[in-house]
Amino acid sequence: MPTGACGINCDVCKLRLLRICSSCGSGRSVEAKKKLEAQKKAFGGSCTILACACLNNKEYCMRDCNSFPCENFSLGPYPFGKGFLEMQERRLREVPPAFDTHGNRVKVPDEYWEALKTKDINVLSNLTLGNPYASDGLIIRSLREDILVDIMGRCIKRLKNRQWLKTDDPLLELITLVYLNRVSSFHPLGKEIVSKNDLKEAHFFVGLHDLNVEALLERYANDIDGFKKAAEYLGGSPVKMADAAYMLLPFPRVPLYYLFWQGDDEFETRIDVLFDRSIEEYFSASGIWGLVNLVSTALLKGPGDENLDQSLSSVFLLNLD
């Protein structure tokens, strides 16, 4: 693959066609190692980005490294300008857009909030392992954070600097409301773990409605450690089910199991999602589909800054012109 670790696509560069410049390749490629050697010979040093990506086993900085955009980009002479890097930084902080099963942006119907007003918060707290908050709120754990369901304020809040602040996360809001409106009894967990094909509405999960793991595969197929880090960051507990497998809790009593099967010469890497049978008590097929989107997106975002070894940056801030 001729795309450089930084994301520059050497495929479309005339310098490569003219053989003035060779392709950099990803941080895990043979091309990258050769390029670093060539740069050392020609310039006495090498590209800080390519060297760092190789050192940290990252194929592509923008896709695979949670430290992007790091100082190797902001302090270096190229490849990207300040405006581009600031845009990346800003947009990586955004909540990713969420779509429904028809491809439209997720909207939360007012009726869901109205229906929630009729529920007894103490009963809901018991059923969901949440905690009542003031007279009209409920705090519930979702993956690695507590969220506040503010029923009178009709919003979900996240804790920032010890303050509950409204968050604009329609998928989280929708899934949370569906769950809280439907939960009505307590079901023991772990009795039956099932795949989408074992669910009563198994026919739903085909074509556009298949469970969303494609992007996860694109990101983690060659990076099982990255997958493990992301799952552990979200509070996932390892389970003995595949080459790497985790139980993740979008809600304390709604486990999802993500199974990572490492590919080999015969089989491609695969990610499966399994459910506790009780999930059908709370979610229809479209709700389960949305829940998987929520968790897969969180896995894709992964941890924040990775504290990678970037010590090369001061040594190799070379202008390679």
Residue 303: CB minimum distance to ligand SF4, A: 13
Report the C-alpha gap between 288 and 199 in whole angstroms.
10
Cis omega (within 30 of 0) for bond into 69: yes
26 is a contact residue toward ligand SF4 (CB under 6 A): no
Specify the stretch interacting with ligand SF4 by CB under 6 A; choose among 56-64, 164-172, 174-182, 253-261: 56-64
70 is a contact residue toward ligand SF4 (CB under 6 A): yes
Report the C-alpha gap between 3 and 149 in whole angstroms.
44
Instruction: Using CB under 6 A, pick the residue from 36, 59, 68, 283 that binds ligand SF4.
Output: 68
Beta strands 244-251 and 237-238: pairing type?
Answer: antiparallel
Which of 78/186 has CB closer to ligand SF4? 78
Instruction: Using CB under 6 A, pick the residue from 58, 157, 228, 253 that binds ligand SF4.
Output: 58
Q: Which two tokens stand for residue 315?
A: 């040594």
Which of 4/226 has CB closer to ligand SF4? 4
SS (H, E, C) 204-229: HCCHHHCCCCHHHHHHHCCCHHHHHH
Instruction: Using CB under 6 A, pick the residue from 29, 31, 49, 293 that binds ligand SF4.
Output: 49
H/E segment holding residue 300? helix 285-301
Report the C-alpha gap between 5 and 59 in whole angstroms.
6
Task: Quickly count: other Cβ atoms within 10 Å of residue 72's Cβ.
Answer: 25
54 is a contact residue toward ligand SF4 (CB under 6 A): no
Specify the stretch interacting with ligand SF4 by CB under 6 A; choose among 58-66, 134-142, 185-193, 253-261: 58-66
- Return residues touching ligand SF4 (CB under 6 A): 4-6, 8, 24, 47, 49-50, 52-53, 56, 58, 61, 65, 67-68, 70, 72, 78-79, 308, 310, 320
